Amino acid sequence: MSTPVDDPLAREGAHLAASRSALRAMREDVEALDITDVTANWVNAEVLARQIDERIKALADLSDTPLFFGRLDYLHAPGAERAEGAAGERFYIGRRHVHDADGDPMVIDWRAPVSQPFYRASKKDPMDIALRRRFGYTGGDLTAYEDEHLSDPGEAAGTSKLLQQEIERPRVGPMRDIVATIQPEQDEIVRSGLGGTVCVQGGPGTGKTAVGLHRVAYLLYAHRERLARTGTLVIGPNRSFLHYIEQVLPALGELAVQQATVDDLVAHVEVRGADDAPAAIVKGDARMAQVLRRALYAHVTLPAEPVVVVRGSRRWRVPAYELEEIVRELLDRDIRYGAAREALPQRIAHAVLVQMERAGEAPDDRVQDAVARNSAVKAAVKAVWPAVDPARLVLRLLSDAEFLAEHAEGILDGDEQKTILWAKPVRSVKSARWSAADAVLIDEAADLIQRTASLGHVVLDEAQDLSPMQYRAVGRRCTTGSATVLGDLAQGTTPWATRSWAEALDHLGKQEGAVEELTAGFRVPTDVIAYASRLLPHIAPGLTPVASVRENPGFFEVRSATETSEVVAACTELLRNEGSTGLIAADARVPALAEALTAAGIGFLAPGEETTRETRLTLVPASLAKGLEYDYVVLDEPQAVVDGEPDERTGLRRLYVALTRAVSGLIVTHAAPLPAQLAA
């Protein structure tokens, strides 16, 4: 019988058990904290209690997530300046830091500098690593390990089986983290500094979303205090997508990252209406920002009358030309409309004070405040620099042809103006049927009036679908921070879809952002991605096709199915496999397919609903498929997916998205002929 001493696996198992009890002890220490004496008031107590609560949650030992997944044996002790626990030469790499009762590290956080060679070291550049060990788990049990002697010239470089297994593991439930298998080119993006914006172009399944989420986790580790103050945000295309990814960061111990759609960010009004494509295109065009600025500043009128302030028996007169100077100076300064409006009364009061001093008085700050509040000053401010409500400003632009023409002159042509004008004038902000694009305009106007607060870091996923005005809305939420922009130009399905990343970064206000490309595909099997890539020359010429890293060639079949029952049969067939199945269909065909599934007694979910062992089928309208994945996919009627979009290119892009959701197998069913572009 082997003993822990001679059996490496047993030895590693013992380290796992010891690490687990150390983690338990760390948690118990936090749970035992008594804060009654240390907090001066209840607000502090509540904040502290919440922090403690979060810390306890972050220290949870999740039975199905291994505490460590790798080990690094350094040749030398890493430099003290870069080491968390530099004393030892051996480090276990895991999701979070675990230390023993003496404070010595048992498990090192994957984000620590000493963990980096786990992801980056190679035979070519061993990074001072003698041994890299990967661990394999079955359930929560440590059952395998695999070694690479990176500094041993005699050992050939090979591909890791454990890595391959992890990549090919079937999917059930929401998205999970990839910390154990982040690839070198992904790691470079994950660990790029907080100061810079990174934009990642990558085909379907290249790990963009995964990389973006891990980058936030990394940044939170490396800049914890700063980001706790300024905040982080992940932006995704819709609720079901956000739901799909929402557990990745908590699994990495990060509970404080906000998630939102762009619509959530700009929810100044209730969106009840929709634009047709031509109107949405103009409203989403960056030129609208100029129109709004002009329309807003048109409210400022240069004063023609003096301001006369009466105080006691004296009258102080600020002549019109002096007022004009003040107004011009405020217009020239780079401050918001609202801030300038707030400054104006003080400026006028200051001019009065100068006169008072000249007249031998010695007014103090209180006098200046009193003058600023004087009714004559208030009236002048109201006339010269009136308060503007952003929603009302947009309402007027969209309902008043003359007002729009005046401010869009030389920016939008006559047809464009007509396109965005509402058919019927609308009376109030409340009664208007605002569209999503209108809400973005209101957000732009609101920011012209009052600066939007900036976060420390924003991750923008599926960015290719944003309009220039939406990019601006996101950009103003990270003016003093940085962004990770993730997308695929070939998957852009909005009429205003991004044409180039340079342009997108420009609208975002992050011209300096670096564009990186990911081309290794972790999701889609070789045969399927090859089939889908036939569309690339038609939808995004010039993009590199994804190269699948999956060894399993996957299952792929195109078959004719004239009845919905045959589509249902394809689902039943795929459900015999382990993992999730998605039935993706043109939105218009979803009701009929839902009916057919129900008639056949097959339970199914909507996208974003969590798959369970019992219900593993999701019926996905093509319009919601983006970003999601299933082990097996039945793609119903490709031509209908194409026809569901207003133009052929968008239709083919939608089809490309739908074709690239499968991890292990795809059946395409069709009654109508397949789109010609899919022919080999």
Ligand X SMILES: Nc1ncnc2c1ncn2[C@@H]1O[C@H](COP(=O)(O)OP(=O)(O)OP(=O)(O)O)[C@@H](O)[C@H]1O
- 201 - beta bridge partners? 487, 517
Applying CB under 6 A, does 456 fall inside the site for ligand X? no
- For ligand X, the closer of residues 19 and 238 by Cβ is 238
Q: Single out the residue of 388, 222, 381 nearest to residue 301, CA to CA.
A: 381
Among 70, 468, 627, 665, binds ligand X (CB under 6 A): 627
Applying CB under 6 A, does 167 fall inside the site for ligand X? yes
Applying CB under 6 A, does 93 fall inside the site for ligand X? no
Q: How far is the CB of 523 from ligand X (least distance, A)?
A: 4
Q: How far is CA 380 from CA 302, 356, 384, 620, in A?
A: 11, 20, 6, 59
- For ligand X, the closer of residues 344 and 546 by Cβ is 546
3-class DSSP state of 666: strand
Residues 6+ apart with CB under 8 A from 28: none
Applying CB under 6 A, does 526 fall inside the site for ligand X? no
- The verdict on whether residue 312 carries a ligand-binding annotation is no
Place of tokens 């999740």: 62
- The verdict on whether residue 206 carries a ligand-binding annotation is yes
How many whole angstroms separate alpha carbon 448 and alpha carbon 340?
11
Applying CB under 6 A, does 178 fall inside the site for ligand X? yes
Applying CB under 6 A, does 484 fall inside the site for ligand X? no
- The verdict on whether residue 208 carries a ligand-binding annotation is yes
How many whole angstroms separate alpha carbon 377 and alpha carbon 172?
66
Total of chain residues touching ligand X, rule CB under 6 A:
22
Place of tokens 């699948």: 548
Applying CB under 6 A, does 419 fall inside the site for ligand X? no
Applying CB under 6 A, does 523 fall inside the site for ligand X? yes
- The verdict on whether residue 493 carries a ligand-binding annotation is no
Q: φ and ψ at 185, to 5 degrees?
A: -70, -30
Applying CB under 6 A, does 69 fall inside the site for ligand X? no
Place of tokens 């040749």: 75
Q: How far is the CB of 623 from ligand X (least distance, A)?
A: 15
One-character DSSP codes across 308-361: EEEETTEEEEE-HHHHHHHHHHHHHSS--HHHHHHHHHHHHHHHHHHHHHHTT-
How many whole angstroms separate alpha carbon 139 and alpha carbon 146?
18
- The verdict on whether residue 526 carries a ligand-binding annotation is no
Binding residues among 656-675 for ligand X as defined by CB under 6 A: 660
Segment interacting with ligand X, rule: CB under 6 A, options 200-208, 232-240, 332-340, 666-674 = 200-208
Applying CB under 6 A, does 206 fall inside the site for ligand X? yes
Applying CB under 6 A, does 412 fall inside the site for ligand X? no
Applying CB under 6 A, does 202 fall inside the site for ligand X? yes
Q: What is the dihedral of CA 272, 277, 278, 280, to 10 degrees?
A: 50
Residues 6+ apart with CB under 8 A from 514: 192, 196, 197, 198, 199
- The verdict on whether residue 209 carries a ligand-binding annotation is yes
Segment interacting with ligand X, rule: CB under 6 A, options 72-80, 198-206, 219-227, 570-578 = 198-206
Applying CB under 6 A, does 207 fall inside the site for ligand X? yes
State the first-to-last Cα distance of the chain, in angstroms, to the nearest integer: 59
Segment interacting with ligand X, rule: CB under 6 A, options 106-114, 207-215, 331-339, 494-502 = 207-215
Binding mask 350-389 for ligand X (x = CB under 6 A): ----------------------------------------
Applying CB under 6 A, does 186 fall inside the site for ligand X? yes
Binding residues among 629-658 for ligand X as defined by CB under 6 A: 629
Applying CB under 6 A, does 507 fall inside the site for ligand X? no
One-character DSSP codes across 122-139: -SS--TTEEEEEEEEEET
Among 99, 133, 208, 476, binds ligand X (CB under 6 A): 208
* CA 322 to the chain's CA centroid: 49
> Which residues participate in the annotated binding site for ATP?
202-209
Instruction: Write out the residues near ligand X by the rule CB under 6 A.
Output: 166-167, 178, 181-183, 186, 202, 204-210, 488, 491, 522-523, 627, 629, 660
